[in-house]
Structure 1
Amino acid sequence: MNLRKALQKIFKIIALRKIRNSKYNQIVTHLTEDEKLVLYNLSKKLENGMVMVEVGSYLGASACFLAWGCSKKTNIFYCIDTWENDSMTEGKRDTYNEFIFNTKDFKDLIKPLRGNSVDVAKTFQGEINLLFIDGDHSYESCLQDWVSWEPFLDRNAIVVFHDIGWAEGVQRVVQEKIVPIAKKEKQLPNLYWAWI
């Protein structure tokens, strides 16, 4: 192993320890520690004044890692969800107050927009620098999320999709819509991201 790879491995171990020991790691989520680290690092690399949008925020774990990464900047972060667990396996329940409690450290950065992603997009204005789609994983819903939010993406924006490892709808949207326009792609077993 060369020195560069050894240093990268050491830095990753240190970063994962930071993730593992953070209070945000206690929030119930389907994200792995590696996925949390990717979200943290992607947002950390954003410049000041950039805009992030998350479709499907659930209890706020992914929102916390994205917000934590850019918390020292003047960025804006819109979290979109019905917070009614419409497509969660645990059943329908209102999770909005849990989201607000879990993300309270970032209340100046996070702007929750409660509603269906497609409906919220109809009134959205501005450009997006990082879009994270983790809503309903059916092909139709994932495609609607993409089609609704893609027009707002700034040039060289980053798009992230969770659950690509098992959700056929997500896989299909990524293959049909993202891969053909991606300038650069990366993937973990269950997380895909690309610069477009």
Structure 2
Amino acid sequence: MPGPAPKPEILAAFEAAKGFMPVDEGLALYAAAAEAGRLGLPLLEVGTYCGRSTILLADAAREAGVTALTVDHHRGSEEQQPGWDYHDPETVDPEIGLMDTLPAFRRTLHKAGLEEHVVALVGRSPQIAAIWNSPLGLVFVDGGHTDEHANADYEGWAPHVAAGGLLVIHDVFPDPEDEFTGQAPYRVYLRALESGAFTEVSVAGSLRVLQRTEAGIRAHG
């Protein structure tokens, strides 16, 4: 999706932050967030980790005069646990022996000068979505990669995307050989298209940007 690019210092902060999103996908996310920000509604991501993508959402939100929201329990998703390829021992709290990415996330935002533009919602996505009742300009789904978690994120948050708003899905891999975490985001992407409520507007790597075209999502979409 054509759109503005982040300032050099924001892009540098993004590249320096702990995380997995490549630059080309980050630029596409920023462009989507800048576009969605024109609706004057908050921008929300599911799956914070250490705040790499949050930097881009927060800066786009700052430019648009809206708030960036980020949802995560900060205990890490399945593929980030000990013994998995995406595990980082530095994210483990030595006192309790569990992952805790919240301190790293806060440091990331502080270094980027974006703390005041972000509201961190610390908890499990379905619990927070169940009590959420406000429209959103953008929902970025980048949480757990099991079918259970990916579908719960879609079901909980996609209905809150305002008309004309954007649903952005990360790690969409049509070929199961492409990514060991599986195809759950790909199946959610297909589900969104089949719902009739969203149409695809851009693709960048594994990032898919969909726009809300209808007020409702069919129950079995």
TM tier relative to shorter chain: 0.7 to 0.9
Q: Which one of 120, 125, 136 corresponds to residue 128 of structure 1?
A: 136
Mapped pair 1:175 → 2:190: yes
| Structure 2 Cα separation of the partners of residues 74 and 117 of structure 1 | 25
The structure that is helix-richer by fraction is 1
Specify the SS of the correspondent of 2:30: helix
Mapped pair 1:150 → 2:163: no
Q: Do the aligned residues in 2 keep the contact of 1:58 with 1:81 (CA within 8 Å)? A: yes
Alignment of 1:83-162 (within 5 A): 83-87=74-78, 88=80, 89-90=86-87, 92-104=98-110, 105-162=113-170
Q: Do the aligned residues in 1 keep the contact of 2:58 with 2:67 (CA within 8 Å)? A: no
User: Structure 1 regions of 5+ residues with no counterpart?
Assistant: 1-7
Q: Which residue of 2 aligns with 1:25?
A: 15
CA pair 52-17 structure 1, distance change in 2 beyond 3 A: closer
User: 1:69-103: CA deviations, max 9, x gaps?
Assistant: 23223201110001111322317510101101101
Mapped pair 1:192 → 2:221: no
Normalization by structure 2: what TM-score?
0.75
Q: Which residue of 2 aligns with 1:4?
A: none
CA RMSD across the alignment: 2.4
| Structure 2 Cα separation of the partners of residues 86 and 171 of structure 1 | 17
User: Structure 2 regions of 5+ residues with no counterpart?
Assistant: 81-85, 89-97, 174-178, 213-221
Greater CA drift, 86-95 or 161-170: 86-95
Q: Which residue of 2 aligns with 1:5?
A: none
Question: What is the percentage of aligned positions where both structures have the same residue?
Answer: 21
CA pair 18-138 structure 1, distance change in 2 beyond 3 A: same
| Structure 1 Cα separation of the partners of residues 133 and 6 of structure 2 | 35
Q: Do the aligned residues in 1 keep the contact of 2:40 with 2:65 (CA within 8 Å)? A: yes
Q: Do the aligned residues in 2 keep the contact of 1:55 with 1:134 (CA within 8 Å)? A: yes
Q: Which residue of 1 aligns with 2:40?
A: 49
Aligned length: 185
Structure with higher RCO (Cα < 8 A, 6+ apart): 2
Specify the SS of the correspondent of 2:63: coil
Q: Do the aligned residues in 2 keep the contact of 1:127 with 1:154 (CA within 8 Å)? A: yes
| Structure 2 Cα separation of the partners of residues 34 and 52 of structure 1 | 20
Tell me by how many angstroms 1:48 deviates: 6.3
Q: Which residue of 1 aligns with 2:216?
A: none
Q: Do the aligned residues in 2 keep the contact of 1:80 with 1:116 (CA within 8 Å)? A: yes
Normalization by structure 1: what TM-score?
0.84
